[in-house]
Amino acid sequence: MKPLNVVLIGAGNVAFHIGKALHQKGHSITQVYSKTKANADSLAKMLGADAIDSLEEISKDQDFYLIAIKDDYIHEVGDAVQLHDKMVAHTSGSIPLDALSKISENTGVFYPLQTFSKSKELEMKKVPFCIEGKNESSTVFFMELAKNLSDSVQAVDSATRKKIHLAAVFACNFSNHLYAIAEELLEKDGLSLDLLRPLMEETTKKALNNSPAVVQTGPAKRKDEEVMKSHEVLLSDREDLRELYSLLSESILKKQN
């Protein structure tokens, strides 16, 4: 696609990685906005853009405005800035498109299903993008732009995006919390999570290459009542974890039998 002039509203992890990817594809990042000037400065410097820390400084005649900021502020920015018919998209999994109803006629969602860290390189080509546009021309524009960055792009409406986000909470946020619980349990006995890291890695690899339900293992899967009971006894001083153990085991028993 033809090179675009792009304004990044936000200078966090998502803005960093998408900004870099757009830059590498030949688009020009002209401005980087952050309410924290130092953050705008460092990303702008990397991308050859101007750093700004006031929404009023946003240039009105660019081709694409990417809003990659905390969910809580998307409404606020959407209400404060007026870009007429320019292409404007936010990157959030859980904020509906209509949060941008005032900012422009041509709005959309540009939601990368990935977790980003500035310190970690990432292959943008493999990141799934969920795209939504307010009308046909914006949908076509955002789809084309996403396909410029990634091989895995699909049109997803706000209702479906919310369901995907819910599934991601189960698969990723909640799984990570279970890792954190395992670490807490081990450290209580002077042991390290390092003992489990090879098993965690292998378990996820198996789930990535199979239907997870098919590769389920453990005491609940094999209906080992004795082991489950003894585990609950071990958790008798942690009622919250005992309840979680019991509910997760029941859920496995129900799904697997």
Q: Which is nearer to a copy of itself, 140 or 172 (CB)?
A: 172
Of 136 and 198, CB closest to a copy of itself: 198
The interface region with a copy of itself, picked from 1-9, 61-69, 102-110, 152-160 by CB under 8 A, is: 152-160
| Residue 245 contacts residue 220 (beta carbons within 8 Å) | no
Nearest-angstrom CA–CA distance, 219 and 223: 6
- H helical segments located in the chain: 13-24, 37-47, 71-80, 136-149, 158-168, 175-188, 197-209, 225-234, 239-256
140 touching a copy of itself, by CB under 8 A = no
Q: Please identify which residue in the block is written with the tokens 């795209």.
A: 131
Q: Which region holds residue 254: left if phi is over 0, alpha if psi is between -120 and 50, else beta? A: alpha
CB of residue 56 to a copy of itself, shortest distance in Å:
28
Closer residue to a copy of itself (CB): 137 or 173: 173
Residues in Cβ contact with 50 at an 8 Å cutoff, skipping those fewer than 6 apart: 30, 31, 32, 44
Indicate the SS3 state at residue 6: strand
Residues 16-45 that bind a copy of itself (CB under 8 A): none
The residue from 118, 179, 225, 229 that contacts a copy of itself (CB under 8 A) is 179
E strand or H helix at 129, and its extent?
Answer: strand 129-133
Give the nearer residue to a copy of itself in terms of CB position, either 46 or 164: 164
**Joined tokens for residue 133:** 């546009």
Decide if residue 168 touches a copy of itself (CB under 8 A). Answer: yes
203 is a contact residue toward a copy of itself (CB under 8 A): yes
Window of 20-28, 80-88, 139-147, 243-251 that interacts with a copy of itself by CB under 8 A: 243-251
Q: Does 238 bind a copy of itself (CB under 8 A)?
A: no
Count CB neighbours of 37 within 10 A: 15
The stretch among 51-59, 77-85, 98-106, 124-132 that binds a copy of itself (CB under 8 A) is 124-132
**One of 5, 42, 94, 148 touching a copy of itself (CB under 8 A):** 94
Among the listed ranges 37-45, 55-63, 98-106, 114-122, the one in contact with a copy of itself (CB under 8 A) is 114-122
